[in-house]
Structure 1
Amino acid sequence: MATHPRIPPRRGARATSWWGKAWVRAVEEAAYDEPELKAARTLSRSGRIGAVTVDPGRFVASVEEGDDVLTVTGEVPVLDSDQQAAFVEAVAAESGRIGALVTGDLPHPLVEHAEEAGVELLPYGGELATRCSCEPWADPCHHALAVMYQLAWLVEGDPFVLLALRGIERDDLLARLHATAPSPARRGSDAEVLADARDRARRLLELLDDPDADLAALL
């Protein structure tokens, strides 16, 4: 569980990263109509949304409106065990991917790689389920939409927020990646194989320049 502090009032804040925009697109797909979205955008920038708590598959926040304090809860489907394993493999496939996540980036090739393995990381509108204590006639209400707009900023600033919502906690991902890393002995073995391959390639180039050389000796 992680609680993200209240975001102070801000003007015209829009998602700028590709994954932040994808989250916003999902929020807007979930909305009933444009007036609800307009009210939600205004509310999201007002500073009247309290701390947002994120758990695997769930988020919750309070929203102030007039004299009322409302509670918004939401759900996002978590990845199953096979999907989580496939995502870990996708991260481990390239050495720079975990570094990118840690520094606040979500590489598009990583998400594409995960999708090819059957892992949809970014939700679509129909996956965003919400409830609000205002008891709206249509879900999501503008309070819930406002909270989800703020989640877009949190997800954009730290992709691990998105991963946590999908059921992959930061420490768990790092532990899994550590578990899949080659052992020191294996790394040494791989290094020896690589060095031998380099020596063979260099020797082969030398032999190709020598018309009398016996290439079979190297094969």
Structure 2
Amino acid sequence: MSDKQWWTEQWLDLINSYHFKKRLERGWRYAREGNVLSIEFQDQKVIAKVRGTEPEPYQISLWLDTFSDEDWGYVTENMSQRAVFSAKLLAGEMPQNIEDVFAVAGKRLFPFNLSDIHSQCSCPDKANPCKHISAVYYLLGERFSEDPFVLFQLRGRTKEQILTKLRQLRGKGEESIAKVNSEENSTIPNSQVPIPNSQFPKVYQFWEYNQQLESSLVVIVPPPTSETVLDILGPLTLVNDGDKTNKLASSMDAAMEYLRKIYQDVSQQAVLTALNRGEAD
């Protein structure tokens, strides 16, 4: 199993989709041999130096199309409304379904294909990507592994900008909830008003939840093992009584096999029912 994060794998899959594999192989070799002398981020561009056949290293620049302020406004607003997204990003992780929040603005975080990555190299090779650009592509995958926010930066927002905005939006949401709770408390008799700390749920609201559940928090999967109660109990112990015991044992084996089949069918049906209900909701 690969130890690379999924977002790094997705970047490498994008690069490896290039049809001219020999050129990619030369780029990979350049990267492994240490010919990429430096990689820096200047605003929304990647600037790199790669050693080639000339005395001076070649200059490479790489960039993606950036998003407008309005697009980023939609994206961060959407992120802030998903607790899981905010938590993962604040922890330095890329949420698995991150593209959902970009789709709201009609955008994609990851390039759709290699032609979406703009690049230039000072080498005489007219093909793009050349082996020098390909080497930078591969090493960028390692940078993404270390810091997933690099990809956000190429789209026009730094890590600090995104996290600051998320904290602001999450803070406003909590203030709104506190205000609503305060107004609700004013309509409750004094004897029933809970401790005035709006971040805690009210006792009388304990069984209430009017919001739609975050889909990523609800995971429906088959049982982790095929073991059933029958397997845990084990075979029945029968008294040795000659031929009668042998016939009874044979009947018990058939009954156990039948019950195992029922357990399996019921388990599968339960998962399908839950999945269908989830889609309907």
Band of TM-score, shorter chain: 0.7 to 0.9
Where does residue 198 of structure 1 map in the other structure? 205
Where does residue 109 of structure 1 map in the other structure? 97
Where does residue 51 of structure 1 map in the other structure? 38
The alignment status of 1:127 with 2:116, answered yes or no, reads yes
Unaligned runs of 5+ residues in structure 1 are: 1-13, 202-219
Where does residue 78 of structure 1 map in the other structure? 66
RMSD: 2.5
Please list every run of at least 4 consecutive aligned residues from structure 1 whose deviation after the TM superposition is greater than 4 angstroms. Answer: 190-194
Secondary structure in structure 1 of the residue aligned to 2:172: coil
Deviations 1:158-198 (CA, angstroms, capped at 9, x unpaired): 11100001101112112222332327753423455552651
Equivalent residues, number:
187
Q: Pick from 146, 150, 154: which aligns with 2:143?
A: 154
Q: TM-score, normalised by structure 2?
A: 0.59
Distance 1:65 1:155 in 2: 25
The alignment status of 1:188 with 2:171, answered yes or no, reads no
Contact 1:86 1:119 in 2 (8 A): no
The alignment status of 1:141 with 2:130, answered yes or no, reads yes
Q: TM-score, normalised by structure 1?
A: 0.74
**Matched residue type, 2:202:** A
The alignment status of 1:24 with 2:12, answered yes or no, reads yes
Distance 2:15 2:66 in 1: 17
**Matched residue type, 2:46:** F
Contact 1:15 1:21 in 2 (8 A): no
Identify which range, 49-58 or 139-148, moves more after superposition. Answer: 49-58
Shift of 1:143: 0.3
Cα 1:144–1:60 shift into 2, 3 Å: same
Distance 2:25 2:135 in 1: 10
Deviations 1:125-177 (CA, angstroms, capped at 9, x unpaired): 11111111112121110100110111111112211100001101112112222
Cα 1:198–1:24 shift into 2, 3 Å: same
Secondary structure in structure 2 of the residue aligned to 1:182: helix
Contact 1:51 1:62 in 2 (8 A): yes
Distance 2:84 2:28 in 1: 35
Contact 1:56 1:166 in 2 (8 A): no
Where does residue 38 of structure 1 map in the other structure? 25
Where does residue 205 of structure 1 map in the other structure? none
Where does residue 95 of structure 1 map in the other structure? 83
**Matched residue type, 1:57:** Q
Distance 2:178 2:74 in 1: 27
More strand by share: 1
The structure whose RCO (Cα within 8 Å, separation 6+) is larger is 1
Contact 1:78 1:166 in 2 (8 A): yes
Distance 2:90 2:174 in 1: 24
Higher-Rg member (1/2): 2
